[in-house]
Amino acid sequence: MSINSFAYLLIGIGYLVAITGIFKDHIPTSYKKTVSITVFIMLTVSSAGQFITERLKDHKAWSSITSGRLVSKESTAALHPIIKVGGGGGLAYAGSPEKPALFNEDSGDAIFVKLVNGEARITVSIRDSKGAVLATVRDNEWFVPSPAGASDRNFNQNTLEVLGEDGQPVLQLRIVGENAELAYKSYGLHGEGPGSMGPWLSESGGSGRTLFKYPSEKYKGQLAITR
């Protein structure tokens, strides 16, 4: 229900109540009760409609978010960034930030990582089997095109997860100080691959198949399990 519709409804209720008050001495008691019940029902229905409308607007606003930035909840004094495969073993990288930290020959994926202000900054792209981009992360700035092959995505301050068409993860990324905890499945520009890195963070963390609860519009930023 729009604001204008709600206002018109209140005006109508006001007229009904006013007329009933003016002619109260000439209106049967049963009619007065009917008016009271009618007003109560109209107010209840209008309030429910307003609530539902606001919830739908909120869900639509969340669903329309296609970009953001991952920020670590802590900083580090470390000298080099570390890519943690599936949240497990770490791969320290001390090379040039302009050169790939990892290169997946199956899909042609190049992953870049560097350390800025005590925080790992990672760059990676995720593609589907047709070569279409499902998600990109550039120095922790993420972008999930909409509409795209991704069925959903969920995120919070330092974590991003993207699901593919089948509802299974294609990217899980969490930034913790110098650590970029990463798991993914991606194809090349022309469908090569897939290349993958795992296990999934959710599996090693004990939350099951996904890091977050879904659908995201209902569980905004809610992890499936708290670390």
Amino acid letter, 115:
L
- pLDDT tens-place values along the chain, 227 residues long: 455 555 555 565 555 555 555 555 555 666 555 656 665 566 565 555 454 445 545 556 777 888 999 999 998 888 888 888 876 766 767 667 677 777 766 666 788 999 999 999 999 999 998 888 999 999 999 999 875 567 899 999 999 999 998 899 999 999 999 999 999 999 988 888 888 888 899 887 655 689 999 999 899 999 987 55
C-beta separation of 65 from 143 below 8 A: no
Q: What does the block give as tokens for 115?
A: 């350390």
The residue whose two tokens read 């708290």 is 226
Nearest to 97 by CA among 118, 117, 78, 121: 121
Paired tokens of 163: 């699901």
Closest to 184 measured CA to CA, from 136, 225, 140, 152: 136
HSE (CB half, 13 Å, CA atoms) of 22? 6
Query: In the structure encoding, which two tokens stand for residue 184, read together?
Result: 């993914």
Domain boundaries, the chain: 3-63, 68-205
Q: Residue 85 in contact with residue 70, Cβ under 8 Å?
A: no
CA dihedral 96, 97, 101, 105 (to 10 degrees): -100
pTM, two decimal places:
0.72
First-residue to last-residue Cα distance in the chain: 40
